[in-house]
Copies of this chain bind each other. A is one copy, B any other.
Amino acid sequence: MKHFRQELWFNTPHRRDYLNITPQVEELVAKSGIRNGLCLVNAMHITASVYINDAEPGLLQDYDAWLQRLAPFNASSDVASGGYRHNATGEDNADAHLKRQVMGREVVVAITDGQLDFGPWEQIYYAEFDGRRRKRVLVKIIGE
């Protein structure tokens, strides 16, 4: 069994951003030399997601609007006015911890014949919900 590990670093310009990281992951799969196995890609921070879906700009806006409806940004810790208890710690990112649960922490992708084994439209995204600082994603591949 072979194993490979590398981090990808991001510093997004906005609080929330959606980055297609498929090319970077493909490069690491090639670099690993692993032909058949599993590739784990996970956010190493708890206010960001890694997910697989469409590279379509309208959909990215739909996701963002929808996540704001399901878990609205609110910097306050006053629950009665829509705030979150977590923000009593002095942070303002409770909503980001919730949004990340909807979109997920990680994806596991099959590696077949040295490639990400994808359907026609699958793309790997890094979804940032509390950006404007350096954060990272882990890529771990095992196989042979």
Residues of B within 8 A of A84 (CB): 58-59, 62
Interface size on A, residues (CB 8 A): 61
List which A49-93 residues lie within 8 A (CB) of chain B.
51-54, 56, 58-59, 61-63, 65-66, 70-71, 77, 79, 84-89
Which residues on the B side are within 8 Å of A105 (C-beta)? 51-52, 104, 107
Copies of this chain per assembly: 3
Beta-carbon contact of A142 and B36 below 8 Å: yes
Binding site for B on A (CB under 8 A): 1, 3, 5, 36-38, 40, 42-46, 51-54, 56, 58-59, 61-63, 65-66, 70-71, 77, 79, 84-89, 94, 97-98, 100-110, 112, 117-122, 136, 138, 140, 142-144
